[in-house]
Amino acid sequence: MKLGDLGEDSLLDQIAVNLPPADTRKIFASVGDDCAIVQIADAQNSLVLKTDCVVEGVHFVHETKASHVGWKAMMRPLSDFAAASAVPRFALITVIAPKETEFVWVKELYCGLQKAAERFAVSIVGGDTSSTSGPIAVSVSVIGFVEHNRAVSRRGGKPGDDLFVTGRLGGAVKQKHLKFVPRIVESRWLTQNFSIHAMMDLSDGLGADLPRLARASNVGFNIDVEKLPLTRGATARAAIADGEDYELLFAISPHERIHLTQAWCRKFSKLSLTRIGSLGRKSKNEKQKLPLGYIHFQQPR
Amino acid sequence: MKLGDLGEDSLLDQIAVNLPPADTRKIFASVGDDCAIVQIADAQNSLVLKTDCVVEGVHFVHETKASHVGWKAMMRPLSDFAAASAVPRFALITVIAPKETEFVWVKELYCGLQKAAERFAVSIVGGDTSSTSGPIAVSVSVIGFVEHNRAVSRRGGKPGDDLFVTGRLGGAVKQKHLKFVPRIVESRWLTQNFSIHAMMDLSDGLGADLPRLARASNVGFNIDVEKLPLTRGATARAAIADGEDYELLFAISPHERIHLTQAWCRKFSKLSLTRIGSLGRKSKNEKQKLPLGYIHFQQPR
């Protein structure tokens, strides 16, 4: 079987099966979660680790400005830190590029990486470079911390929980995917003030990501498509299937609904927070899908 | 200017110049060192970070067994942990591969990665995958710890220090580069029992790596080429220029010489330890080279 015949979820499942069971008392989240969250001896905080890559022809095109490529390459793993409500601290950069690449392109790439890192006080402390006969690839690993009692994964959602998303969905592939700001500030505020049961960042689109959260939490979901917060000009289909929104999706007890929405409005008046539905009992259908019929979730990324 | 016209050292120099000065009180080693070593608040140990990649056509050929590729991809950053005398704990894996790649190839790759990780009790806690239209690339980031008083970098060498190498040099590109075992055990023993002034692992060959250690320590060096410990069948030229030995090169006070060589013999009777020369005052020539005339150090890697 070829990799192209497997979706990324299946590949990760297969790989995780082949890994030996780690010491689960010490590992809060791992392969298949947004971040790895591991406990270290005698430390107050857990260590949080995430790696992510962007590849020319897959995540950006040859014409994309190098500084935008750098911004996106750094902000993608930082968005996973937002999902875990973790604080990023250090980054390692790997740049794989053909010998013919202009040095000025790599300099601008680093400008974008650095600008993105500075936005969240992340220090770039190391890296590696290699030549290649293929397209440019940039891999970023981010290391940080989260307090034991504030770490969030995809797994704690309960039937009856409200589902909220930050910001607006759809149409991000036009511009936003190169300029987005991960919701780290918002996520840290959420876990400081509320008990968030499950959370993730929407990188592959609500239609692909929500079923992942539901599967990890072993629950079902009900979405009110009419209520999806749409980017101006975007359709509900785009909000579900486009991907690259990098907004937060989270589950929280309905008892917190009024307090949450009021406090959010006061704190983040310029960023919408929308209740898009709720979690429910797991349906008998093996895989629950969002409405609007079949959507090609596993498009090449 | 194209990347191909710059060596990796120059590229890293250029990039480091463009990075803002990090809080140097907290960062013991960073870009250009074997590992990044950073102090974390309220922790007894420093955090150690390293990323490294292998690319098809550069670090391995299409015919290389996938499990060997995985072994090498994991052991390369672990060899940098040996250089820093650090203990590796967690790894993140990024695999960039064409859609046509056989799934069984990736499975075997992970077997090699896992086997190498287990050898040093490292947990693979996360990763990322992407398709590409180019050759396969595997990037491995390793995170671990080192006691504040045992961290070693390339920078502490002093004029008069003895220079030692472990094992034998040259000819590694035939077989050893896919099967080597990083000298972590030996390195931990060294810093437990001796004051090691400067250390690095020999990945690019003594001819490229020793001048890096000397430059970082701001000293010169004198090598006795006759004394280089050669792999059976290898020439002195190969020992200097081949690379991929993954042995340790370290600087230590000559006062320790007798105690070190005797204790080493008792502890690691099967692995040679050879004094190959010494550090000296910095020469006036801008760049000191090893004997044997010009050697093409910056060959594509």
A162-280, what's its fold?
Phosphoribosyl-aminoimidazole Synthetase; Chain A, domain 2 (3.90.650)
The answer to whether residue A101 neighbours chain B at the CB level (below 8 Å) is yes
The A residues from 49 to 88 touching B (CB cutoff 8 Å) are 49-55, 57-59
Strand, coil or helix: B169: strand
Q: Does A19 touch chain B (CB under 8 A)?
A: yes
The answer to whether the Cα torsion of B112, B115, B116, B121 is positive or negative is positive
The per-residue pLDDT for A16 is: 54
| Smallest CA–CA distance from B29 into chain A, residue | A125
DSSP assigned state of B173? T
Q: What is this structure's pTM?
A: 0.87
State how far residue B156 is from chain A, nearest Cα, in angstroms.
Answer: 19
Name the residue in chain B with its Cα closest to that of A92.
Answer: B51
Report how far residue B158's alpha carbon sits from residue B255's, in angstroms, rounded to the nearest whole number. 13
Q: Which of B58, B107, B125 sits opposite A49 (nearest CB)?
A: B125
pLDDT by residue, tens only, chain A of 301 residues: 777 676 666 655 665 555 444 454 466 666 667 788 888 766 678 999 999 999 999 999 999 999 999 999 999 999 999 999 999 999 999 999 999 999 999 999 999 999 999 999 999 998 899 999 999 999 999 999 999 899 999 999 999 999 999 999 998 877 788 899 999 999 999 999 999 999 999 998 999 999 999 999 999 999 999 999 999 999 999 999 989 999 999 999 999 999 999 999 999 999 999 999 999 998 765 566 665 433 333 333 3
User: How many Å lie between the alpha carbon of A282 and the closest alpha carbon of chain B?
Assistant: 27
Is-contact A289 A234, C-beta < 8 A? no
Which residue among B1, B106, B137 sits closest to A103, beta carbon to beta carbon? B1
Q: What does the pLDDT read at residue A37?
A: 85
Q: Assess if CATH 3.40.190.10 describes domain A3-150.
A: no
Q: B128 and A107 in contact by Cβ < 8 A?
A: no
Q: Which of B18, B129, B137 sits opposite A8 (nearest CB)?
A: B129
What pLDDT sits at residue A300?
34
The percentage of residues in chain B with a pLDDT greater than 90, rounded to a whole number, is: 71
Question: CB B111 to CB A18 under 8 A?
Answer: yes
Q: Does B90 touch chain A (CB under 8 A)?
A: yes
On the question of a common fold for B3-150 and B162-280, the answer reads no
Q: Does A11 touch chain B (CB under 8 A)?
A: yes
The answer to whether A83 touches A201, Cβ cutoff 8 Å, is: yes
Q: Is A128 in contact with B110 (Cβ distance < 8 A)?
A: no
| CB of A8 less than 8 A from some CB of B | yes
Radius of gyration of chain B (CA): 19
Q: How many CB pairs under 8 A join A and B?
A: 248
Tell me whether residues A18 and B47 touch, CB distance under 8 A: no
- Mean pLDDT of each 10-residue bin along chain B, 301 residues long: 68 55 56 76 82 94 95 97 95 95 94 96 92 96 93 95 97 85 97 97 93 94 93 92 94 98 97 97 70 38 33
The beta-carbon neighbor of A3 closest among B2, B106, B128 is B106
Within 8 A of B3 by CB-CB distance, chain A residues are: 97-103, 106, 129, 131
Q: Do B53 and A101 touch (CB under 8 A)?
A: no
Q: Decide if A22 touches B, using CB distance below 8 A.
A: yes
Q: Which of residues 114-153 of A touch B (CB under 8 A)?
A: 114, 118, 123-135, 137, 139, 141, 143, 145
For chain B, the structural domain boundaries read 3-150, 162-280
- For residue range B158-171, what is the model confidence (pLDDT) as tens digits? 999 999 999 999 98
* Interface probe, candidates A15, A55, A76, chain B, greatest B C-beta count within 10 A: A15
Whether A39 and chain B come into contact, CB under 8 Å, resolves to no
Q: What's the pLDDT score for residue B39? A: 80
Across the interface, whether the CB atoms of B3 and A98 are under 8 A apart is answered yes
CA distance A127 to chain B (A): 6
Q: Select from A51, A107, A145 the Cβ nearest to the Cβ of B126.
A: A51
Picking from B3, B36, B89, the nearest residue to A101 by CB comes out as B3
